Chain A
Amino acid sequence: MYDNGIQPAMGVWWKPAHKTEKVWIAIAFAWCMVLFAMMPIWHLKGGQNPTGIRHRVEPADFEARTNEFIEEYRVGEEAGIPIVEPPAGSDVYLVGKMWQWTPILRLQEGATYRLHMSSTDVNHGFNLYPFNINFQVIPGYDYALDVTPTEAGEFRIICNEFCGVGHHVMVGRVEVVPTSDATASAGGAE
């Protein structure tokens, strides 16, 4: 008798597998090992990893730290939101709050910053347009990632975690200036 799915399996059914089945399982198993190995390998060799430095933080403390950061490096204002131009290598703070990203960031191409993100109310989602880079922003947690803008231009931060009825207007701005301009305008800031 051949077994099917709806009849009980009779006697001892612990038998060697079909030859083709064995080959496929071996291929699938090897592939699973490749899938697994790729993640540690990318931690060692790749340029994009979501680990960063992570701390718990009181939302009020994070907001206060962001305000200090804004006062220190503020260079202007647009749409009522401060524009901030931090020096290369500095700690940068970004706060998500219904329904605004604060502040606007002006960064230098090729420079590395430690970007701290958090929320003071509900979950928000960090999506960098037009690059499709995404991180979760959670109240009570400071998520600090070392970021290096590899290209100059205009960028947007779109909230992609539902945060209430005004979710769709929660758009922030990042400006990345080419290296030559940056040295000219930010000269002496350090």
Chain B
Amino acid sequence: MKAFRTCPTTGLSVHRDADNLIKAHAVVATVSLLVGGIAALLVLLTRWQAIHLLDSVWFYRILTVHGMSMLIFFIIFFEMAVLMFAGPILLNSRVPAPKIAWGGFGLMVAGAVLVEWTMWTGKADVLFTSYVPLKATPNFYLGVILFAVGALVTVGIFFASLVVAKREKTYEGSVPLVTFGAITAGIIAVITLLHGAAIYIPTWLWSMGLMNVDPQIYRLVWWGLGHSSQQINVAAMVSIWYLLATLTVGGVVLNQKVSRTAFVLYILFISMASAHHLLVDPGMGAAWKVWNTSYFMYMAVLASMIHGFTVPAGIELGMRLRGYTQGVFGWLRKAPWGDPGFSSMIFSVVVFGFVGGITGVTFGTEQINIIAHNSLRIPGHFHATVVSGTAMAFMGVTYYVIPLIFRKRIAFFKLAQIQPYLFAIGMLIFSLSMTFAGSFGVPRRHWDISFSGAPFDVQYSPAVDIVMAVMAIGGLAGILGGAIYILVTVWSVFFGKPLPVGEEENYADSIPQGLITKPWTQIPDTDRDPEAPWNIGPVPGTVVLVGVFFLAFVTYYFANWALLSFVWKVG
């Protein structure tokens, strides 16, 4: 068997090991998503007080499973697949030391299985955060350590593949923007995983009675893992936005300098976000909180706002250059909304920005956190970022990975086409309802907000019942969307029909349109001012969109200051 095949769609050389590693990581990611999704359903049906399915022991147990399976296993396995794509494949290169890469994968799987085992057997009812001194069995911490070491090995292989590609001259010029973004994700992953080692190794020793761990220091270092790992997601997700923009509509990069500088801002500052979780903690002073929660005067927020402009602007220009020039939003109306890769990308950009981004910056403001910390507003925020943003983008790119890497057609393509709509709208309703319920003070991670058995009664506003029911309906729609995704991907990969080389145009009913029309090849190179080639055309639609975004941001931010000013004086 040859070590390389040539991709018939993109012309890139695809290394067999990269192919297989991507497949393996993607399959395990999907299994994790299934486990986490079942847990999501059980958690949802318990928090919906009308059903209140699980007892309190199993509720917290399953909530632990949900957090670990989704936020750690699903996301990081998928990200490792993204790295193997953005490195060896986009650079026409090979995977160096494939045996070590498989070793890393094996460690990650072993760690994940060990963690799942301890959780399901009730030996680790400590939730995702496992705040010391709540104690789990030592094997829980050991499993996380194994997983983190395995992930570090894979990230190392990714970096090695960059060196090999450069040395073997498999590409010319500078690495593609998508690879550049993946490199930033890889660097943030190293920072994150080192924090993980720095906290889980002492905690593992503590769980065996060998040393002490201070609860406040645990929170500080643990969030260096817990929040920074979500910043790997941000960098990987933005890379996928640029990737899908090119593949689905021929999106262009307005300016390499601007987009790449924005990625570098992520590396420099985004790891300071550990502070977002410690704003109403006793261990840190005001200067520390203000400085760190703002990621060095909001330079990481600036980075996201830059991508929030350049991604839609690149899409708009790509469409306009291909002839969709009518009016302000003609390019958007004529976009391929039936392409699940395209619709996923748009939902990911919009919900991540409008809901996830705005709520995140607002709740992460030192004083506003007083009226947000540990309420349902927080999971409302991060389901909009990690689920509607990252997971949605990952789902969208899967619809391209299946034909490109697995060489299979998409099974149940009609279902795949509606999947992003169901998932995005369901999760949007879910996140907004959670955020709204949280502003009444409804706590997160709570088995029973009717407080039965408590010494004093608590009666939330009747609005809370309605909001929680709406949340449940949105959540169920989102879970159904997730289930369709799993059905479509698993069926396509294991039982799907092969996609014969060079016959893409015959299968418009079962692969995304971008692979047939190849829009990135249709961009004409005309109408550019030779004196100022960077002024590559107006983007009125994007200007309107970011204007609306900015107004929403300012309004929500100051509305929260107003809400804060009404509560008791405290300081």
Residues of A within 8 A of B (CB): 1-11, 13-21, 24-25, 27-29, 31-33, 35-36, 38-40, 42-43, 46-52, 54, 78-81, 100, 112, 121-123, 125, 127-136, 138-143, 145-151, 156, 158-173
Q: Is the CB of A39 within 8 A of B366?
A: yes
Query: B436 on the interface (CB 8 Å rule)?
Result: no
Q: Which residue of A lies closest to B278 (CB)?
A: A136
Query: B310 on the interface (CB 8 Å rule)?
Result: yes
Contact with A along B509-552 (1 / 0, CB 8 A): 00000000000100101000000111110110011001000100
Chain B residues 404 to 463 lying within 8 A of chain A, measured CB to CB, are: 438-441, 443-449, 451-456, 458
Report Cα–Cα, A138/B129, bound state, in Å.
Answer: 14
Q: Is the CB of A127 within 8 A of B367?
A: no
Query: B401 on the interface (CB 8 Å rule)?
Result: no
Q: Is the CB of B550 within 8 A of A31?
A: yes
Quick check: which of B20-28, B241-249, B327-335, B478-486 contacts chain A, the rest being far away?
B241-249
Nearest CB on A from B11, distance (A): 11
Q: Is the CB of B550 within 8 A of A5?
A: no
Nearest CB on A from B549, distance (A): 10
Q: Is the CB of B286 within 8 A of A43?
A: yes
Q: Is the CB of B365 within 8 A of A132?
A: no
Report Cα–Cα, A167/B460, bound state, in Å.
Answer: 18
Q: Is the CB of B441 within 8 A of A131?
A: yes
Report Cα–Cα, A54/B464, bound state, in Å.
Answer: 35
Report Cα–Cα, A9/B176, bound state, in Å.
Answer: 6
Q: Is the CB of B297 within 8 A of A8?
A: no
Closest 4 CB pairs of A and B: A5-B242, A32-B298, A143-B282, A160-B443
Q: Is the CB of A52 within 8 A of B294?
A: no
Residues from chain B with a CB closer than 8 A to the CB of A14 are: 256-257
Q: Is the CB of B215 within 8 A of A133?
A: no
Chain B residues 236 to 294 lying within 8 A of chain A, measured CB to CB, are: 239, 242-243, 245-247, 250-258, 278-283, 285-286, 289-290, 293-294
Q: Is the CB of A133 within 8 A of B290?
A: no
Q: Is the CB of A135 within 8 A of B280?
A: yes
Q: Which residue of A lies closest to B362 (CB)?
A: A35
Report Cα–Cα, A50/B369, bound state, in Å.
Answer: 9
Nearest CB on B from A145, distance (A): 5
Q: Is the CB of B215 within 8 A of A129?
A: no
Report Cα–Cα, A86/B162, bound state, in Å.
Answer: 66
Report Cα–Cα, A136/B283, bound state, in Å.
Answer: 10
Report Cα–Cα, A18/B294, bound state, in Å.
Answer: 27
Contact with A along B151-177 (1 / 0, CB 8 A): 000000000000000000001111111
Q: Is the CB of B543 within 8 A of A20?
A: yes
Contact of B446 among A21, A39, A52, A167 (CB under 8 A): A167
Q: Is the CB of B172 within 8 A of A29?
A: no
Query: B473 on the interface (CB 8 Å rule)?
Result: no
Residues from chain B with a CB closer than 8 A to the CB of A173 are: 455-456
Contact of B568 among A19, A81, A149, A159 (CB under 8 A): A149
Interface footprint category on B: 35 or more
Nearest CB on A from B86, distance (A): 9
Report Cα–Cα, A104/B368, bound state, in Å.
Answer: 27
Q: Is the CB of B257 within 8 A of A49?
A: no
Contact of B372 among A134, A146, A158 (CB under 8 A): A134
Q: Is the CB of B367 within 8 A of A50?
A: yes
Contact of B570 among A2, A40, A49 (CB under 8 A): A49
Residues from chain A with a CB closer than 8 A to the CB of B242 are: 5
Quick check: which of B193-201, B300-308, B387-395, B490-498 contacts chain A, the rest being far away?
B300-308
Nearest CB on B from A96, distance (A): 13
Residues from chain A with a CB closer than 8 A to the CB of B543 are: 20
Contact of A138 among B253, B283, B373 (CB under 8 A): B283
Q: Is the CB of A122 within 8 A of B57?
A: no
Beyond A13-B174, A145-B571, A171-B458, list 10 extra A-B contacts (CB 8 Å).
A5-B176, A5-B246, A6-B177, A9-B176, A50-B366, A50-B367, A132-B567, A134-B372, A135-B370, A169-B451
Query: B374 on the interface (CB 8 Å rule)?
Result: yes
Q: Which residue of B lies closest to A130 (CB)?
A: B441
Q: Is the CB of B258 within 8 A of A17?
A: yes
Query: B117 on the interface (CB 8 Å rule)?
Result: no
Q: Is the CB of B520 within 8 A of A168?
A: no
Query: B131 on the interface (CB 8 Å rule)?
Result: yes
Contact of B569 among A16, A36, A47, A134 (CB under 8 A): A47
Q: Is the CB of B294 within 8 A of A42?
A: no
Nearest CB on B from A6, distance (A): 5
Query: B6 on the interface (CB 8 Å rule)?
Result: no
Residues from chain B with a CB closer than 8 A to the CB of A133 are: 370-371, 567-568, 570
Report Cα–Cα, A96/B382, bound state, in Å.
Answer: 28
Nearest CB on A from B538, distance (A): 7
Contact of B250 among A4, A20, A166 (CB under 8 A): A4
Query: B60 on the interface (CB 8 Å rule)?
Result: yes
Q: Is the CB of A49 within 8 A of B440?
A: no
Contact with A along B298-323 (1 / 0, CB 8 A): 11011001100110011001100100
Q: Decide yes or no: A18 and B535 within 8 Å by CB, A2-B252, A8-B176, A170-B454 being known contacts.
A: yes
Q: Is the CB of B256 within 8 A of A3?
A: yes
Q: Which residue of B lies closest to A14 (CB)?
A: B257
Nearest CB on A from B312, distance (A): 11
